[in-house]
Chain A
Amino acid sequence: MVNAEPFRSPPAPLAGEGGRGRAAEPPGLPRPLGLLAELTHRCPLGCPYCSNPLALEGRDAELDSATWARVFREAAALGVLQVHLSGGEPAARHDLIEIARAAREAGLYVNLVTSGIGLTGERIRALAEAGVDHVQLSIQDSEADSADRIAGYRGAFRRKTALAAEIVRLGLPLTVNAVVHRANIDRIAAMVELAAALGAGRVEIAHVQYYGWALRNRAALMPTREQVERAAATVAALRARYRRQIVIDSVVPDYHARFPKPCLGGWGRRSLNVTPAGRVLPCHAAEVIPGLEFWSVRDHPLAEIWEHSPAFRAFRGTAWMQEPCARCPRREQDFGGCRCQAFLLTGDAAATDPVCHLSPRHHEIAALAAAQADRPYRYRRMPASAGA
C-alpha cells in the first residue's frame, strides 16, 4: 500500500501499473524522464575528451531564455522530471540564472552540470536561490598541473576547488565528476580523496566515451588493459573504505566491457537532448548518424517531436534490430547498445554495438582498446567565427 518505487526500465510505460489519472498517451509510446539541455557550446576549457560534436554551434544560433522556458514547460507536461543544464559550459550564458529559475518553475529537478569556470560565489548563490537542486562539478585530475594541462586552461583546478567549497557551504548537494583516461586513471584514489575532502556526497568515475572530440583523441586517451584492471580493483577498495562518507559511481569503460552500455535506457524511450540551437536529439551524439532528420523546438512543440520526428522513430523499440540482437534475450536490457557507436565503428547505425562480445566485429574493438599513442591532445576549440 505504501510505495515509493524506482521508475522501472521495462518497456511498459508507467501507465501500466494502475494508470489512473494520467493524461492519454498513445499505446506503446514511452514517456521521457530526463532532458539534457545543452544551453551553449561555448566553454573556456578545451578538454580533449569532450563529447560535444566537432561542429560546435556559435552564440548567434543559441535559443533565448524565453524559448528554454517554454521547452521546460513542454518537457514537464510530457513527463520529464529532471533537467540537466549542460553545455559547453552553461555558465557562459549570462542568463543562466533566469534559465535555471524557469526550469524549477516548470517543476523540474534542476541539475547543473558545470566545469565551474565562470561561476563566482555570488552567482552560485543566486543559482541556489533560483532553485538549482544539485551541482555536478567536473575535475580533470587530483594534481593542479596535470588537471590544468588536460583542461587546456591555467588556474582551472584552483578555481574549481574554491567553487566546490562554496557550493558545499551553501548546502547544495555536490557530485564531483572525474573523467578518467590514460593520463589520470592511475590517480583515481587521489581524485576520490579530493572529492571527499571537498565535501561531495557523490563522485562519479566517468571513463571517457569516444564521441566527438574524444574520438579524435582516442589513441591519446585510451588507457591500457592493465590500467583498467587496476582501476577496477582500486574502485572496489575505495567503495569499502569510503562507504559511509561518499557514494562512488563507476562503470566499466566501454571498449573494455563484454556487453555494451544500454543506450540511455533505450533510444527515444527515457530521455531527450536539446542542442544550443534547439534541435532535439535522442542522444547528445546522434547527429553523427547520417540521414537522420532532427526537428527543432523552434518549429514544433516538444511532444510532437518526441512522438513523430523521424530521428526519434528511427531506433525506437526493437523492430529495427539485426542479428545477433534481434533474437538476443538481452535486447530489452541494453537495446543492442549504442547506435552512435555502432555507426562510428561499423558504418551501420542498425548494427550490434561492436562493444558487445557477441558482435561479429568485436575483435576490432579489442584492437582499438590496445592502441595507445602518446601524441599531443587536439583540444576542443570553437571555430574563430563562432563567436565564443
Chain B
Amino acid sequence: MLETGDRHSLGPEARPRLRRGVRLQHSPAHGGYVLLAPERVFKADAIAAAILARCTGEATLSAIVDDLATLYGAPRERVLGDVSALLAGLAEKKLLEW
C-alpha cells in the first residue's frame, strides 16, 4: 500500500506497474480497453491502453517513453509529458505503483 507516487517521484528509472487487483481488459461491448479495479471501472482510450499495457513492472519509464515515441512517431518530450501525467493520475487513484 505504501509504494505510490507520493513516496518517491516518478523518475526515468521507475518501473511502473498496475497494482495487484487492477487489470487492463479489452471489452468489445465498450469498443476498447477498460481498466478494472475493486469496485471501480475506467475506460482507457487507445493511447492510455498502449501505455498501461507496458506498465508491467519490468520496463522503465524511460524505455516505455522511447517505445511509444517510436510507435507513434511523436516527439519524445511530448510523450514523456503525457505518460507522466497519466501515471501520476492513476497512482493518485491507487491504481498504479512504481
Contacts and interface: CB of A to CB of B under 8 A. Distances in A.
Interface of A: 1-7, 14, 19-23, 31, 33, 76-82, 107, 109, 111, 133-134, 136, 171-173, 175, 201-202, 244-247, 249
Contacts of A111: 38-39
Contacts of B39: 111, 175, 249
Main secondary structure of the interface of B (DSSP, over half): mixed
A81 B51 CA distance: 21
B35 interface: yes
B41 A2 contact: no
Contacts of A202: 38
A22 B31 contact: yes
Nearest to B44: A4
26 contacts: A1-B82, A2-B47, A2-B82, A2-B83, A3-B43, A3-B45, A3-B47, A3-B48, A4-B42, A4-B48, A6-B40, A6-B42, A20-B31, A22-B30, A23-B28, A79-B29, A80-B29, A81-B25, A82-B36, A133-B36, A133-B38, A134-B38, A173-B19, A173-B20, A175-B38, A201-B1
Given A31-B29, A79-B30, A133-B23, 5 more contacts: A2-B48, A4-B48, A4-B90, A6-B41, A202-B38
A81 B23 contact: no
Contact of A4 (B1, B20, B29, B86): B86
Contacts of A31: 29-30
B51 A2 contact: yes
B76 interface: no
A33 B30 CA distance: 10
B41 A33 contact: yes
Contacts of A3: 43-45, 47-48
Interface of B: 1-2, 19-21, 23, 25-32, 34-45, 47-48, 51-52, 82-83, 85-86, 89-90, 94
Nearest to A200: B1
* Main DSSP-derived SS at the A contact region: loop
B48 A245 contact: no
A109 B22 CA distance: 9
Contacts of A107: 25-27
Contact of B29 (A77, A173, A249): A77
B25 A21 contact: no
Contacts of A80: 29
A21 B32 contact: yes
B2 A244 contact: yes
A154 to B, nearest CB: 31
A31 B41 CA distance: 13
Nearest to A22: B31
B1 A244 contact: yes
B67 to A, nearest CB: 15
B40 A21 contact: no
Given A33-B41, A246-B1, A109 B47 contact: no
Nearest to A77: B29
B82 A81 contact: no
Nearest to A81: B41
Contacts of A21: 31-32
Contacts of B82: 1-2
A79 B31 CA distance: 10
A80 B34 CA distance: 11
